[in-house]
Amino acid sequence: MNPLRRIGCLFLLLSCSWFFQLAPVHAQAAAPAGIVQDDAWWTGPMLANSAETLPQGHVLIEPYLYDIMAEHSNSYGSRTYMNYGLVDRLTVGIIPIFGYNQVDHGPNSSGVLVGDFTVQAQYRLTKFHEGSWIPTIAIQLQQSFPTGKYDQLGNRPSNGIGSGAYETNLGINAQTYFRMPNRRLLRLRLNVSETFSSHVNVNGVSVYGTGSNFRGTVEPGNSTFVDTSVEYSLTQRWVLALDAIYSRGRNTTINGVDFLSTSSGLPDPPRIHSTGGASEAFGYAPAVEYSWTSSLGVLLGVRVIAGGHNTERTVTPAVAINYVN
């Protein structure tokens, strides 16, 4: 078995065991030392991950609903973060994804489909204390499994919502707070991560643009993601947020043959080899947060991919409910 698959499978078994076997404790999440929890109730910005970990026994559930609007398509989806505080410094969780693609030229998805499934763990290294320059810093590990359909799509390529790859994401998250002159809180986050992908066996029409007669492999390039965010607490319940993001994807290599020619007995079937160029993307995501209580809030935001190299421009409105217990 591919080493990435062995690591991924072990990580899945451990994380699911921790997440589902331990019962949650009903209590509020602790505020950072020196910061009064009632000063502001946060849901988090649209994109940047928190560097905090849940106290032992606490849970966080945050479902997102979104629509990735491109020039000729809409990709409706849901992504739910389900995290559990295993110990005070370690949080584990799962991220199930579902999607439906609507396209202008061709058939839409045959129904709501399951995307790739992710498990994650975050270990906190330091914790912010008001008056100190040291932020909260954590290491995050995510492992995605190719549960979403990605090849053998036939005449319905809109059914492709997975990658087909085992993807390992390693990142560092940082978070700090500042008191403004009016005593309101400003929260800053910085995420930096790298994603490593396994090779993918591909047959026929796929999310990688291969044709109906293709049989071979795809090697997705590694990718880098950087996200910085700022949140300003207007009041205890209302918060304004803004993400600024940058991503870079390396070359993706496609190797294979035209299996229709192979089956017809040609002595030297045509080889297919192509390399997709590197891509870059820049974007931003303004959002408004509102919390009914310190443990329940809603986020309304929109992600805009404004441009870059080999990148399609998209606008993605989203809504999320944030619940901590």
Quick one: DSSP state of residue 33?
B
Residue 34 is predicted with a pLDDT of: 60
Contact 229, 47 (CB under 8 A): yes
Residue 6 is predicted with a pLDDT of: 43
Q: In whole angstroms, what is the distance from residue 287 CA to residue 239 CA? A: 9
Q: In whole angstroms, what is the distance from residue 245 CA to residue 307 CA? A: 11
How many Å separate Cα 219 from the centre of its chain?
20
Q: In tens digits, what is the pLDDT along the chain, a chain of 325 residues?
A: 444 444 344 444 433 433 333 333 223 344 565 665 568 999 999 999 999 999 999 999 999 999 999 999 999 999 999 999 999 999 999 999 999 999 998 999 999 999 999 999 999 999 998 888 999 999 999 999 999 999 999 999 999 999 999 999 999 999 999 999 999 999 999 999 999 999 999 999 999 999 999 999 999 999 999 999 999 999 999 999 999 999 999 999 999 998 775 555 556 677 888 888 899 999 999 999 999 999 999 999 999 999 888 899 999 999 999 999 9
pTM across the whole model: 0.85
Residue 27 is predicted with a pLDDT of: 30
| Cα 85 to Cα 110, 120, 204, 298, distances in angstroms | 38, 12, 43, 22
User: Among 189, 147, 191, which Cα is nearest to 170's?
Assistant: 191
Which residue segments constitute the domains of the chain, with CATH numbers given?
3-324 (2.40.160.40)
Residue 259 is predicted with a pLDDT of: 76
Residue 88 is predicted with a pLDDT of: 92
Q: In whole angstroms, what is the distance from residue 11 CA to residue 196 CA? A: 15
User: Among 227, 224, 305, 304, which Cα is nearest to 51's?
Assistant: 227
Residue 4 is predicted with a pLDDT of: 43
Q: In whole angstroms, what is the distance from residue 182 CA to residue 233 CA? A: 11
Residue 12 is predicted with a pLDDT of: 42
Contact 180, 186 (CB under 8 A): yes
Residue 112 is predicted with a pLDDT of: 97
Residue 8 is predicted with a pLDDT of: 45
What's 188-219 look like in SS3? EEEEEEEEEECCEEEECCCCCCCCCCEEEEEE
